[in-house]
Chains A and B, each alone.
Chain A
Protein backbone atom coordinates (compact mmCIF):
# COMPACT_ATOMS: atom_id res chain seq x y z
CA UNK A 1 0.00 0.00 0.00
CA UNK A 2 1.76 3.14 -1.10
CA UNK A 3 0.40 6.40 0.11
CA UNK A 4 1.57 9.81 -1.07
CA UNK A 5 1.97 11.10 2.48
CA UNK A 6 2.81 9.33 5.74
CA UNK A 7 0.31 9.84 8.58
CA UNK A 8 0.81 12.62 11.13
CA UNK A 9 -1.35 14.66 13.49
CA UNK A 10 0.02 17.97 12.20
CA UNK A 11 -2.36 20.04 10.05
CA UNK A 12 -1.71 22.21 7.03
CA UNK A 13 -0.02 19.73 4.69
CA UNK A 14 -2.36 20.26 1.76
CA UNK A 15 -2.35 24.04 2.12
CA UNK A 16 1.43 24.32 2.56
CA UNK A 17 2.40 21.90 -0.21
CA UNK A 18 -0.33 23.20 -2.52
CA UNK A 19 0.83 26.79 -2.15
CA UNK A 20 4.50 25.77 -2.46
CA UNK A 21 3.96 23.89 -5.72
CA UNK A 22 1.69 26.61 -7.15
CA UNK A 23 4.12 29.42 -6.33
CA UNK A 24 7.10 27.39 -7.58
CA UNK A 25 5.28 26.69 -10.85
CA UNK A 26 4.14 30.27 -11.43
CA UNK A 27 7.40 32.01 -10.52
CA UNK A 28 10.04 29.49 -11.61
CA UNK A 29 8.90 26.46 -13.62
CA UNK A 30 6.52 28.04 -16.15
CA UNK A 31 8.83 31.00 -16.86
CA UNK A 32 11.85 28.68 -17.28
CA UNK A 33 9.89 26.35 -19.55
CA UNK A 34 9.34 29.28 -21.92
CA UNK A 35 13.05 29.02 -22.73
CA UNK A 36 12.61 25.53 -24.12
CA UNK A 37 9.48 26.38 -26.10
CA UNK A 38 11.16 29.43 -27.60
CA UNK A 39 14.21 27.40 -28.64
CA UNK A 40 11.92 24.73 -30.10
CA UNK A 41 10.72 27.39 -32.57
CA UNK A 42 14.25 27.50 -33.92
CA UNK A 43 14.49 23.74 -34.36
CA UNK A 44 17.68 21.88 -33.59
CA UNK A 45 19.44 23.10 -36.74
CA UNK A 46 18.69 26.72 -35.96
CA UNK A 47 19.70 26.28 -32.33
CA UNK A 48 22.98 24.66 -33.37
CA UNK A 49 23.71 27.44 -35.87
CA UNK A 50 23.29 30.07 -33.15
CA UNK A 51 25.38 28.39 -30.47
CA UNK A 52 28.17 27.43 -32.86
CA UNK A 53 28.49 30.83 -34.53
CA UNK A 54 31.96 32.33 -34.09
CA UNK A 55 30.93 35.17 -31.82
CA UNK A 56 28.85 32.96 -29.52
CA UNK A 57 31.57 30.32 -29.26
CA UNK A 58 34.12 33.05 -28.50
CA UNK A 59 31.87 34.53 -25.78
CA UNK A 60 31.26 31.11 -24.24
CA UNK A 61 35.00 30.47 -24.26
CA UNK A 62 35.72 33.83 -22.58
CA UNK A 63 33.00 33.12 -20.00
CA UNK A 64 34.18 29.64 -19.12
CA UNK A 65 37.95 30.29 -19.17
CA UNK A 66 37.74 33.41 -16.99
CA UNK A 67 35.25 31.70 -14.64
CA UNK A 68 37.56 28.71 -14.24
CA UNK A 69 40.59 30.87 -13.50
CA UNK A 70 38.63 33.00 -11.00
CA UNK A 71 37.21 29.93 -9.24
CA UNK A 72 40.73 28.46 -9.11
CA UNK A 73 42.12 31.65 -7.54
CA UNK A 74 39.28 31.55 -5.04
CA UNK A 75 39.93 27.89 -4.22
CA UNK A 76 43.61 28.59 -3.49
CA UNK A 77 43.15 31.76 -1.45
CA UNK A 78 39.89 30.48 0.04
CA UNK A 79 41.73 27.61 1.72
CA UNK A 80 44.29 30.03 3.17
CA UNK A 81 41.65 32.51 4.38
CA UNK A 82 39.53 29.74 5.92
CA UNK A 83 42.61 28.23 7.57
CA UNK A 84 43.75 31.54 9.03
CA UNK A 85 40.24 32.37 10.30
CA UNK A 86 39.80 28.98 11.99
CA UNK A 87 43.29 28.16 13.27
CA UNK A 88 44.86 31.48 14.25
CA UNK A 89 43.89 34.44 16.39
CA UNK A 90 44.79 37.99 15.44
CA UNK A 91 43.30 41.44 16.00
CA UNK A 92 40.25 42.23 13.87
CA UNK A 93 39.55 38.59 13.07
CA UNK A 94 35.79 38.85 13.63
CA UNK A 95 35.52 41.85 11.31
CA UNK A 96 37.52 40.05 8.63
CA UNK A 97 35.30 37.00 9.03
CA UNK A 98 32.15 39.09 8.58
CA UNK A 99 33.69 40.91 5.61
CA UNK A 100 34.10 37.64 3.67
CA UNK A 101 30.39 37.84 2.79
CA UNK A 102 30.68 41.34 1.30
CA UNK A 103 30.37 40.07 -2.31
CA UNK A 104 26.99 38.55 -1.36
CA UNK A 105 25.79 41.83 0.11
CA UNK A 106 27.29 44.41 -2.25
CA UNK A 107 25.19 44.91 -5.41
CA UNK A 108 27.06 43.67 -8.47
CA UNK A 109 26.76 46.98 -10.33
CA UNK A 110 28.49 48.76 -7.43
CA UNK A 111 31.25 46.14 -7.42
CA UNK A 112 31.57 46.53 -11.19
CA UNK A 113 32.03 50.31 -11.32
CA UNK A 114 34.33 50.25 -8.29
CA UNK A 115 36.64 47.53 -9.62
CA UNK A 116 36.69 49.22 -13.03
CA UNK A 117 37.78 52.47 -11.34
CA UNK A 118 40.48 50.79 -9.23
CA UNK A 119 41.95 48.73 -12.08
CA UNK A 120 41.65 51.31 -14.87
CA UNK A 121 45.01 52.46 -16.31
CA UNK A 122 44.80 55.62 -14.16
CA UNK A 123 43.22 53.83 -11.18
CA UNK A 124 44.60 53.17 -7.72
CA UNK A 125 46.07 49.77 -8.65
CA UNK A 126 45.79 49.92 -12.42
CA UNK A 127 48.38 52.72 -12.66
CA UNK A 128 51.17 50.47 -11.34
CA UNK A 129 50.36 47.82 -13.92
CA UNK A 130 49.96 50.43 -16.64
CA UNK A 131 53.52 51.60 -15.89
CA UNK A 132 54.62 48.11 -16.97
CA UNK A 133 52.32 48.15 -19.99
CA UNK A 134 49.84 45.72 -18.45
CA UNK A 135 46.17 46.54 -18.84
CA UNK A 136 43.77 44.96 -16.35
CA UNK A 137 40.47 46.78 -16.79
CA UNK A 138 38.92 46.43 -20.27
CA UNK A 139 40.71 43.09 -20.89
CA UNK A 140 39.92 39.45 -19.93
CA UNK A 141 42.17 39.97 -16.86
CA UNK A 142 39.62 42.51 -15.65
CA UNK A 143 36.87 39.91 -16.03
CA UNK A 144 38.91 37.52 -13.87
CA UNK A 145 39.29 40.25 -11.21
CA UNK A 146 35.52 40.87 -11.10
CA UNK A 147 34.70 37.15 -11.01
CA UNK A 148 37.26 36.59 -8.25
CA UNK A 149 35.48 39.24 -6.18
CA UNK A 150 32.04 37.70 -6.86
CA UNK A 151 33.12 34.15 -6.00
CA UNK A 152 35.31 34.94 -3.01
CA UNK A 153 32.97 33.79 -0.19
CA UNK A 154 32.10 30.35 -1.57
CA UNK A 155 35.25 28.31 -0.86
CA UNK A 156 35.90 30.10 2.45
CA UNK A 157 32.37 29.35 3.66
CA UNK A 158 32.34 25.70 2.55
CA UNK A 159 35.79 24.94 3.99
CA UNK A 160 35.42 26.69 7.38
CA UNK A 161 32.97 24.23 9.03
CA UNK A 162 34.90 21.20 7.75
CA UNK A 163 38.17 22.60 9.06
CA UNK A 164 36.58 23.00 12.51
CA UNK A 165 35.61 19.31 12.44
CA UNK A 166 39.11 17.97 11.65
CA UNK A 167 39.99 16.24 14.89
CA UNK A 168 43.06 17.40 16.75
CA UNK A 169 43.71 13.81 17.91
CA UNK A 170 44.38 12.63 14.36
CA UNK A 171 46.83 15.45 13.78
CA UNK A 172 48.52 14.71 17.11
CA UNK A 173 48.79 11.01 16.27
CA UNK A 174 50.38 11.83 12.92
CA UNK A 175 52.79 14.25 14.56
CA UNK A 176 53.76 11.74 17.24
CA UNK A 177 54.51 9.25 14.45
CA UNK A 178 56.99 11.77 13.09
CA UNK A 179 54.99 13.56 10.41
CA UNK A 180 55.91 17.20 9.79
CA UNK A 181 53.26 19.91 9.56
CA UNK A 182 53.31 19.92 5.75
CA UNK A 183 52.86 16.12 5.69
CA UNK A 184 49.94 16.40 8.11
CA UNK A 185 48.32 19.04 5.93
CA UNK A 186 48.93 17.13 2.71
CA UNK A 187 47.95 13.67 3.97
CA UNK A 188 45.29 14.38 6.61
CA UNK A 189 43.83 17.87 6.51
CA UNK A 190 43.71 18.39 2.74
CA UNK A 191 41.89 15.10 1.99
CA UNK A 192 39.36 16.01 4.71
CA UNK A 193 38.61 19.47 3.30
CA UNK A 194 38.96 18.50 -0.36
CA UNK A 195 35.26 17.71 -1.01
CA UNK A 196 34.34 21.07 0.54
CA UNK A 197 36.94 22.86 -1.60
CA UNK A 198 35.53 21.20 -4.71
CA UNK A 199 31.97 22.10 -3.77
CA UNK A 200 32.97 25.70 -3.10
CA UNK A 201 34.91 25.78 -6.37
CA UNK A 202 31.89 24.51 -8.30
CA UNK A 203 29.58 27.03 -6.65
CA UNK A 204 31.96 29.90 -7.40
CA UNK A 205 32.26 28.62 -10.97
CA UNK A 206 28.48 28.41 -11.45
CA UNK A 207 28.05 31.90 -10.06
CA UNK A 208 30.85 33.28 -12.26
CA UNK A 209 29.46 31.77 -15.46
CA UNK A 210 26.15 33.58 -15.07
CA UNK A 211 27.59 36.82 -13.69
CA UNK A 212 26.72 40.00 -15.55
CA UNK A 213 26.56 43.16 -13.42
CA UNK A 214 30.09 43.25 -12.06
CA UNK A 215 31.71 42.14 -15.32
CA UNK A 216 30.29 44.47 -17.96
CA UNK A 217 31.83 47.61 -16.46
CA UNK A 218 35.37 46.23 -16.24
CA UNK A 219 35.39 43.92 -19.29
CA UNK A 220 35.51 46.48 -22.08
CA UNK A 221 33.12 44.11 -23.91
CA UNK A 222 35.17 43.67 -27.10
CA UNK A 223 33.54 41.02 -29.32
CA UNK A 224 35.68 37.84 -29.57
CA UNK A 225 38.06 39.09 -26.83
CA UNK A 226 36.30 40.25 -23.68
CA UNK A 227 32.62 39.76 -24.44
CA UNK A 228 30.89 37.36 -22.03
CA UNK A 229 27.95 35.13 -22.98
CA UNK A 230 25.37 36.88 -20.73
CA UNK A 231 26.21 40.19 -22.42
CA UNK A 232 25.65 38.60 -25.83
CA UNK A 233 22.19 37.50 -24.64
CA UNK A 234 21.40 41.11 -23.75
CA UNK A 235 22.80 42.30 -27.10
CA UNK A 236 20.57 39.86 -29.00
CA UNK A 237 17.56 40.93 -26.94
CA UNK A 238 18.20 44.56 -27.81
CA UNK A 239 18.09 43.57 -31.50
CA UNK A 240 14.77 41.75 -30.81
CA UNK A 241 16.47 38.44 -31.69
CA UNK A 242 14.58 36.63 -28.91
CA UNK A 243 15.18 33.13 -30.32
CA UNK A 244 18.93 33.75 -30.63
CA UNK A 245 19.12 35.11 -27.09
CA UNK A 246 17.20 32.09 -25.84
CA UNK A 247 19.46 29.64 -27.64
CA UNK A 248 22.53 31.05 -25.85
CA UNK A 249 20.58 30.99 -22.59
CA UNK A 250 19.74 27.32 -23.09
CA UNK A 251 23.37 26.46 -23.77
CA UNK A 252 24.38 28.21 -20.54
CA UNK A 253 21.49 26.73 -18.57
CA UNK A 254 22.34 23.17 -19.59
CA UNK A 255 25.92 23.68 -18.46
CA UNK A 256 24.86 25.36 -15.20
CA UNK A 257 22.35 22.63 -14.43
CA UNK A 258 25.01 19.98 -15.04
CA UNK A 259 27.16 21.85 -12.52
CA UNK A 260 24.34 21.89 -9.96
CA UNK A 261 23.95 18.13 -10.34
CA UNK A 262 27.69 17.80 -10.01
CA UNK A 263 27.65 19.80 -6.75
CA UNK A 264 24.83 17.68 -5.33
CA UNK A 265 26.71 14.54 -6.36
CA UNK A 266 29.83 15.84 -4.65
CA UNK A 267 27.95 16.58 -1.46
CA UNK A 268 26.45 13.10 -1.50
CA UNK A 269 29.87 11.58 -2.15
CA UNK A 270 31.65 13.60 0.54
CA UNK A 271 28.97 12.97 3.17
CA UNK A 272 29.10 9.24 2.43
CA UNK A 273 32.85 9.22 2.60
CA UNK A 274 32.89 11.22 5.81
CA UNK A 275 30.34 8.82 7.28
CA UNK A 276 28.05 11.62 8.46
Chain B
Protein backbone atom coordinates (compact mmCIF):
# COMPACT_ATOMS: atom_id res chain seq x y z
CA UNK B 1 0.00 0.00 0.00
CA UNK B 2 2.67 2.48 0.98
CA UNK B 3 4.87 1.53 -1.97
CA UNK B 4 1.90 2.07 -4.27
CA UNK B 5 1.29 5.44 -2.66
CA UNK B 6 4.87 6.57 -3.26
CA UNK B 7 4.74 5.35 -6.85
CA UNK B 8 1.54 7.29 -7.50
CA UNK B 9 2.91 10.48 -6.00
CA UNK B 10 5.97 10.31 -8.18
CA UNK B 11 4.04 9.56 -11.34
CA UNK B 12 2.08 12.84 -11.03
CA UNK B 13 5.13 14.96 -10.32
CA UNK B 14 7.90 16.19 -12.57
CA UNK B 15 11.49 15.12 -12.12
CA UNK B 16 13.52 17.40 -9.80
CA UNK B 17 15.48 18.67 -12.80
CA UNK B 18 12.33 19.81 -14.62
CA UNK B 19 10.96 21.35 -11.40
CA UNK B 20 14.09 23.36 -10.73
CA UNK B 21 14.35 24.45 -14.37
CA UNK B 22 10.75 25.69 -14.47
CA UNK B 23 11.14 27.57 -11.18
CA UNK B 24 14.37 29.10 -12.48
CA UNK B 25 12.74 30.23 -15.76
CA UNK B 26 9.82 31.78 -13.88
CA UNK B 27 12.06 33.56 -11.37
CA UNK B 28 14.46 34.90 -14.01
CA UNK B 29 11.53 36.19 -16.09
CA UNK B 30 9.97 37.85 -13.03
CA UNK B 31 13.29 39.28 -11.88
CA UNK B 32 14.05 40.73 -15.30
CA UNK B 33 10.64 42.24 -16.00
CA UNK B 34 9.31 43.11 -12.53
CA UNK B 35 11.94 43.27 -9.80
CA UNK B 36 14.64 45.00 -11.84
CA UNK B 37 12.41 47.90 -13.01
CA UNK B 38 11.02 48.41 -9.50
CA UNK B 39 14.51 48.50 -7.95
CA UNK B 40 15.84 50.71 -10.75
CA UNK B 41 13.31 53.46 -9.97
CA UNK B 42 14.77 53.85 -6.47
CA UNK B 43 18.40 53.44 -7.55
CA UNK B 44 18.03 56.21 -10.14
CA UNK B 45 16.13 58.43 -7.69
CA UNK B 46 18.94 58.26 -5.13
CA UNK B 47 21.74 58.17 -7.74
CA UNK B 48 22.99 61.63 -6.74
CA UNK B 49 22.24 61.32 -3.05
CA UNK B 50 19.47 62.28 -0.63
CA UNK B 51 19.92 66.05 -1.03
CA UNK B 52 19.05 66.13 -4.71
CA UNK B 53 16.20 63.69 -4.07
CA UNK B 54 14.64 66.03 -1.51
CA UNK B 55 15.33 69.10 -3.64
CA UNK B 56 13.35 67.53 -6.49
CA UNK B 57 10.43 66.71 -4.24
CA UNK B 58 10.42 70.11 -2.48
CA UNK B 59 9.94 71.97 -5.79
CA UNK B 60 6.66 73.93 -5.70
CA UNK B 61 5.72 72.53 -9.13
CA UNK B 62 6.20 69.01 -7.81
CA UNK B 63 3.91 69.83 -4.90
CA UNK B 64 1.27 71.24 -7.24
CA UNK B 65 1.47 68.01 -9.27
CA UNK B 66 1.08 65.88 -6.14
CA UNK B 67 -1.88 68.01 -5.03
CA UNK B 68 -3.61 67.72 -8.41
CA UNK B 69 -3.08 63.95 -8.46
CA UNK B 70 -4.79 63.68 -5.08
CA UNK B 71 -7.64 65.96 -6.19
CA UNK B 72 -8.27 63.89 -9.34
CA UNK B 73 -8.20 60.57 -7.47
CA UNK B 74 -10.17 62.10 -4.58
CA UNK B 75 -13.05 62.91 -6.92
CA UNK B 76 -12.81 59.95 -9.33
CA UNK B 77 -12.68 57.17 -6.74
CA UNK B 78 -15.74 58.25 -4.66
CA UNK B 79 -17.73 58.97 -7.84
CA UNK B 80 -16.99 55.53 -9.26
CA UNK B 81 -17.62 53.99 -5.84
CA UNK B 82 -21.16 55.36 -5.72
CA UNK B 83 -21.67 54.23 -9.30
CA UNK B 84 -20.23 50.77 -8.63
CA UNK B 85 -22.47 50.16 -5.63
CA UNK B 86 -25.59 51.36 -7.40
CA UNK B 87 -24.83 49.38 -10.57
CA UNK B 88 -24.13 46.23 -8.55
CA UNK B 89 -27.33 46.72 -6.50
CA UNK B 90 -29.45 47.02 -9.65
CA UNK B 91 -27.73 44.16 -11.49
CA UNK B 92 -27.27 41.66 -8.65
CA UNK B 93 -30.51 42.14 -6.72
CA UNK B 94 -33.02 42.50 -9.58
CA UNK B 95 -33.84 40.77 -12.85
CA UNK B 96 -34.47 42.99 -15.84
CA UNK B 97 -34.08 43.02 -19.57
CA UNK B 98 -30.81 44.16 -21.11
CA UNK B 99 -28.78 43.22 -18.03
CA UNK B 100 -25.95 41.53 -19.91
CA UNK B 101 -25.74 44.45 -22.35
CA UNK B 102 -25.41 46.79 -19.37
CA UNK B 103 -22.58 44.67 -17.92
CA UNK B 104 -20.75 44.74 -21.27
CA UNK B 105 -21.16 48.52 -21.57
CA UNK B 106 -19.72 49.02 -18.07
CA UNK B 107 -16.54 47.24 -19.21
CA UNK B 108 -16.24 49.47 -22.28
CA UNK B 109 -13.63 51.94 -20.90
CA UNK B 110 -11.21 49.02 -20.47
CA UNK B 111 -11.36 48.36 -24.21
CA UNK B 112 -10.57 51.96 -25.11
CA UNK B 113 -7.00 53.22 -25.47
CA UNK B 114 -6.14 55.78 -22.76
CA UNK B 115 -5.33 58.28 -25.50
CA UNK B 116 -8.81 57.84 -26.99
CA UNK B 117 -10.31 58.25 -23.50
CA UNK B 118 -8.77 61.72 -23.41
CA UNK B 119 -9.64 62.47 -27.02
CA UNK B 120 -13.40 62.03 -26.49
CA UNK B 121 -13.44 64.83 -23.90
CA UNK B 122 -11.47 67.12 -26.21
CA UNK B 123 -14.09 66.43 -28.90
CA UNK B 124 -16.88 67.34 -26.47
CA UNK B 125 -15.45 70.28 -24.57
CA UNK B 126 -12.44 71.47 -26.61
CA UNK B 127 -12.45 74.78 -28.52
CA UNK B 128 -13.80 73.06 -31.67
CA UNK B 129 -15.92 70.62 -29.67
CA UNK B 130 -19.70 70.15 -29.40
CA UNK B 131 -19.96 72.40 -26.35
CA UNK B 132 -16.85 74.42 -27.22
CA UNK B 133 -18.64 77.60 -28.33
CA UNK B 134 -21.09 77.58 -25.46
CA UNK B 135 -18.30 77.04 -22.92
CA UNK B 136 -16.20 79.81 -24.45
CA UNK B 137 -19.14 82.21 -24.47
CA UNK B 138 -19.61 81.55 -20.76
CA UNK B 139 -15.87 81.66 -20.09
CA UNK B 140 -15.71 78.11 -18.76
CA UNK B 141 -12.58 76.04 -19.34
CA UNK B 142 -12.86 72.26 -19.05
CA UNK B 143 -10.12 71.09 -21.40
CA UNK B 144 -6.51 72.03 -20.57
CA UNK B 145 -7.86 72.60 -17.07
CA UNK B 146 -8.54 70.64 -13.90
CA UNK B 147 -12.15 69.54 -14.72
CA UNK B 148 -10.95 67.81 -17.90
CA UNK B 149 -8.29 65.92 -15.94
CA UNK B 150 -10.90 64.82 -13.41
CA UNK B 151 -13.31 63.70 -16.17
CA UNK B 152 -10.63 61.72 -18.00
CA UNK B 153 -9.59 60.07 -14.73
CA UNK B 154 -13.20 59.12 -13.96
CA UNK B 155 -13.54 57.63 -17.45
CA UNK B 156 -10.47 55.38 -17.31
CA UNK B 157 -11.21 54.13 -13.79
CA UNK B 158 -14.95 53.77 -14.44
CA UNK B 159 -15.30 49.92 -14.41
CA UNK B 160 -12.94 49.03 -11.53
CA UNK B 161 -15.31 49.02 -8.55
CA UNK B 162 -18.45 47.94 -10.43
CA UNK B 163 -16.76 44.88 -11.92
CA UNK B 164 -15.57 43.79 -8.46
CA UNK B 165 -18.98 44.21 -6.84
CA UNK B 166 -21.27 42.80 -9.56
CA UNK B 167 -20.02 39.17 -9.50
CA UNK B 168 -19.56 39.28 -5.71
CA UNK B 169 -23.12 40.48 -5.04
CA UNK B 170 -24.55 38.14 -7.67
CA UNK B 171 -22.88 35.21 -5.91
CA UNK B 172 -24.25 36.32 -2.53
CA UNK B 173 -27.84 36.39 -3.81
CA UNK B 174 -30.59 38.44 -2.23
CA UNK B 175 -32.08 36.21 0.49
CA UNK B 176 -30.43 38.09 3.37
CA UNK B 177 -31.67 41.46 2.12
CA UNK B 178 -35.16 40.09 1.48
CA UNK B 179 -35.24 38.71 5.03
CA UNK B 180 -34.19 42.09 6.45
CA UNK B 181 -36.83 43.97 4.44
CA UNK B 182 -39.62 41.55 5.35
CA UNK B 183 -38.65 42.00 9.02
CA UNK B 184 -39.35 45.71 8.58
CA UNK B 185 -35.92 47.21 7.82
CA UNK B 186 -35.85 50.18 5.43
CA UNK B 187 -33.87 50.03 2.20
CA UNK B 188 -30.98 52.09 3.56
CA UNK B 189 -30.88 50.12 6.83
CA UNK B 190 -30.74 46.92 4.81
CA UNK B 191 -27.89 48.26 2.71
CA UNK B 192 -25.79 49.58 5.61
CA UNK B 193 -26.37 46.68 8.03
CA UNK B 194 -26.67 43.66 5.71
CA UNK B 195 -25.19 44.32 2.27
CA UNK B 196 -22.22 46.52 3.14
CA UNK B 197 -20.68 44.15 5.74
CA UNK B 198 -20.98 41.35 3.17
CA UNK B 199 -19.22 43.21 0.38
CA UNK B 200 -16.62 45.16 2.36
CA UNK B 201 -13.57 43.23 1.12
CA UNK B 202 -14.64 43.32 -2.51
CA UNK B 203 -15.39 47.02 -2.14
CA UNK B 204 -12.00 47.76 -0.62
CA UNK B 205 -10.29 45.69 -3.31
CA UNK B 206 -12.01 47.66 -6.06
CA UNK B 207 -11.22 50.99 -4.37
CA UNK B 208 -7.50 50.13 -4.11
CA UNK B 209 -7.22 49.15 -7.80
CA UNK B 210 -9.30 52.16 -8.84
CA UNK B 211 -7.12 54.51 -6.80
CA UNK B 212 -3.86 53.11 -8.16
CA UNK B 213 -5.04 53.64 -11.72
CA UNK B 214 -6.51 57.08 -10.94
CA UNK B 215 -3.24 58.35 -9.48
CA UNK B 216 -1.09 56.75 -12.16
CA UNK B 217 -3.10 57.47 -15.31
CA UNK B 218 -0.95 59.02 -18.00
CA UNK B 219 -2.29 58.77 -21.57
CA UNK B 220 -5.83 60.08 -21.05
CA UNK B 221 -4.76 62.84 -18.69
CA UNK B 222 -1.90 63.81 -21.00
CA UNK B 223 -4.31 64.48 -23.87
CA UNK B 224 -6.65 66.75 -21.87
CA UNK B 225 -4.09 68.49 -19.67
CA UNK B 226 -2.23 70.82 -22.01
CA UNK B 227 0.83 70.33 -19.76
CA UNK B 228 0.65 73.67 -17.97
CA UNK B 229 3.22 73.53 -15.21
CA UNK B 230 1.94 74.06 -11.70
CA UNK B 231 -1.64 74.15 -13.00
CA UNK B 232 -2.62 71.06 -14.99
CA UNK B 233 0.25 68.69 -14.30
CA UNK B 234 -0.37 65.49 -12.39
CA UNK B 235 2.53 63.47 -10.97
CA UNK B 236 2.89 61.15 -14.00
CA UNK B 237 2.85 64.17 -16.35
CA UNK B 238 5.42 65.93 -14.19
CA UNK B 239 7.64 62.84 -14.45
CA UNK B 240 7.38 63.03 -18.23
CA UNK B 241 8.36 66.71 -18.39
CA UNK B 242 11.36 66.25 -16.09
CA UNK B 243 12.50 63.17 -18.04
CA UNK B 244 12.23 64.95 -21.39
CA UNK B 245 14.34 67.80 -19.95
CA UNK B 246 17.03 65.19 -19.12
CA UNK B 247 16.52 65.96 -15.45
CA UNK B 248 16.66 62.23 -14.67
CA UNK B 249 17.25 62.45 -10.90
CA UNK B 250 14.21 64.69 -10.42
CA UNK B 251 12.10 62.55 -12.79
CA UNK B 252 12.94 59.38 -10.87
CA UNK B 253 12.48 61.13 -7.52
CA UNK B 254 8.85 61.93 -8.36
CA UNK B 255 8.53 58.49 -9.99
CA UNK B 256 9.74 56.87 -6.75
CA UNK B 257 6.68 58.27 -4.95
CA UNK B 258 4.46 56.61 -7.56
CA UNK B 259 6.45 53.38 -7.27
CA UNK B 260 5.96 53.53 -3.51
CA UNK B 261 2.24 53.93 -4.10
CA UNK B 262 2.37 50.82 -6.31
CA UNK B 263 4.14 48.80 -3.60
CA UNK B 264 1.64 49.92 -0.94
CA UNK B 265 -1.18 49.03 -3.34
CA UNK B 266 0.22 45.52 -3.81
CA UNK B 267 0.64 44.99 -0.05
CA UNK B 268 -2.88 46.19 0.80
CA UNK B 269 -4.26 44.16 -2.12
CA UNK B 270 -2.60 40.94 -0.91
CA UNK B 271 -3.86 41.57 2.61
CA UNK B 272 -7.40 42.12 1.36
CA UNK B 273 -7.19 38.96 -0.78
CA UNK B 274 -6.10 37.02 2.28
CA UNK B 275 -8.92 38.46 4.40
CA UNK B 276 -11.47 37.82 1.65
CA UNK B 277 -10.34 34.21 1.31
CA UNK B 278 -10.87 33.77 5.06
CA UNK B 279 -14.42 35.06 4.83
CA UNK B 280 -15.06 33.08 1.63
CA UNK B 281 -15.57 36.03 -0.76
CA UNK B 282 -14.68 35.88 -4.42
CA UNK B 283 -12.44 38.55 -5.87
CA UNK B 284 -11.71 39.12 -9.54
| B266 engages A98 (CB within 8 Å) | yes
User: Would A213 and B158 be within 8 Å (CB), given that A16-B89, A175-B11 are in contact?
Assistant: no
Complex interface: chain A residues within 8 A of B190 (CB): 10
Instruction: Give CA–CA (A34, B151) in the complex, Å.
Output: 15
User: Would A17 and B262 be within 8 Å (CB), given that A6-B96, A242-B126 are in contact?
Assistant: no
| B158 engages A27 (CB within 8 Å) | yes
* B interface residues, Cβ below 8 angstroms from A: 8, 11-15, 18-19, 22-23, 25-27, 29-30, 32-38, 40-41, 44, 82-83, 86-87, 89-91, 93-97, 102, 104-116, 119-124, 126, 128-130, 151, 154-155, 158, 174, 177-178, 181-182, 186-187, 190-191, 209, 212-213, 215-219, 222-223, 235-237, 239-240, 243, 248, 251-252, 255, 258-259, 261-263, 265-267, 269-270
User: Would A181 and B178 be within 8 Å (CB), given that A35-B116, A230-B219 are in contact?
Assistant: no
Within 8 A of B (CB), among A1-52: 4-6, 8-13, 15-17, 19-21, 23-24, 27-32, 34-35, 37-38
| A8 engages B258 (CB within 8 Å) | no
Query: Does A269 make an interface contact (CB < 8 A)?
Result: no
| B116 engages A88 (CB within 8 Å) | no
Complex interface: chain B residues within 8 A of A20 (CB): 83, 86-87, 90-91, 102
Complex interface: chain B residues within 8 A of A209 (CB): 113
| B93 engages A8 (CB within 8 Å) | yes
Query: Does A83 make an interface contact (CB < 8 A)?
Result: yes
Q: List 16 A-B contacts (CB under 8 A).
A: A21-B102, A28-B158, A80-B22, A80-B25, A84-B22, A99-B266, A103-B34, A105-B261, A107-B217, A117-B40, A124-B36, A149-B37, A152-B34, A213-B219, A230-B219, A246-B123
Complex interface: chain A residues within 8 A of B174 (CB): 8, 10
Query: Does A168 make an interface contact (CB < 8 A)?
Result: yes
Q: With a 10 A CB-CB cut-off, give which of B102, B122, B237 has the most chain A CB atoms.
A: B122
| B41 engages A110 (CB within 8 Å) | yes
Instruction: Select one of A31, A104, A253 contacting B212, CB under 8 A.
Output: A104
Instruction: Give CA–CA (A240, B123) in the complex, Å.
Output: 11
Number of residues in A with C-beta < 8 Å to the partner? 93
| B113 engages A210 (CB within 8 Å) | yes
| A113 engages B262 (CB within 8 Å) | no
CB A20 to nearest CB in B, in angstroms, measures 4
User: Would A242 and B89 be within 8 Å (CB), given that A114-B255, A172-B11 are in contact?
Assistant: no
Instruction: Select one of A90, A152, A168 contacting B12, CB under 8 A.
Output: A168
| A249 engages B25 (CB within 8 Å) | no
The 5 A-B pairs with the shortest beta carbon distances in the complex, nearest first, are A107-B216, A210-B113, A213-B218, A212-B219, A175-B11
| A29 engages B105 (CB within 8 Å) | yes
Query: Does A96 make an interface contact (CB < 8 A)?
Result: yes
Q: Kindly supply a per-residue 1/0 record for chain A positions 114-133, scoring 1 wherever the CB is within 8 Å of any chain B CB and 0 otherwise.
A: 11011000001100000000
CB A234 to nearest CB in B, in angstroms, measures 6
- Identify the stretch in A53-61, A191-199, A257-265 within 8 Å (CB) of chain B at 4 or more residues: A257-265
Q: Which residue of A lies closest to B4 (CB)?
A: A176
Instruction: Give CA–CA (A230, B112) in the complex, Å.
Output: 11
Instruction: Give CA–CA (A30, B151) in the complex, Å.
Output: 13
User: Would A10 and B26 be within 8 Å (CB), given that A19-B83, A106-B216, A110-B239 are in contact?
Assistant: no
Instruction: Select one of B90, B155, B235, B261 contacting A28, CB under 8 A.
Output: B155
Query: Does A139 make an interface contact (CB < 8 A)?
Result: no
Instruction: Give CA–CA (A27, B129) in the complex, Å.
Output: 16
Complex interface: chain B residues within 8 A of A237 (CB): 119, 122, 223
Q: Which residue of B lies closest to A33 (CB)?
A: B120
Complex interface: chain A residues within 8 A of B158 (CB): 27-28
| B86 engages A16 (CB within 8 Å) | yes
Instruction: Select one of B115, B120, B122, B222 contacting A32, CB under 8 A.
Output: B120
Complex interface: chain A residues within 8 A of B187 (CB): 10-12
| B22 engages A88 (CB within 8 Å) | yes
Instruction: Select one of B82, B105, B181, B262 contacting A107, CB under 8 A.
Output: B262
Complex interface: chain B residues within 8 A of A231 (CB): 115
Complex interface: chain B residues within 8 A of A259 (CB): 111
Instruction: Give CA–CA (A209, B115) in the complex, Å.
Output: 11
Instruction: Select one of A6, A100, A117 contacting B94, CB under 8 A.
Output: A6
| A32 engages B108 (CB within 8 Å) | yes
| B22 engages A98 (CB within 8 Å) | no
| A105 engages B266 (CB within 8 Å) | yes
| A27 engages B154 (CB within 8 Å) | yes
| B113 engages A109 (CB within 8 Å) | no
Q: With a 10 A CB-CB cut-off, give which of A10, A148, A245, A259 has the most chain B CB atoms.
A: A10
Complex interface: chain A residues within 8 A of B25 (CB): 77, 80
Query: Does A270 make an interface contact (CB < 8 A)?
Result: no
Query: Does A225 make an interface contact (CB < 8 A)?
Result: no
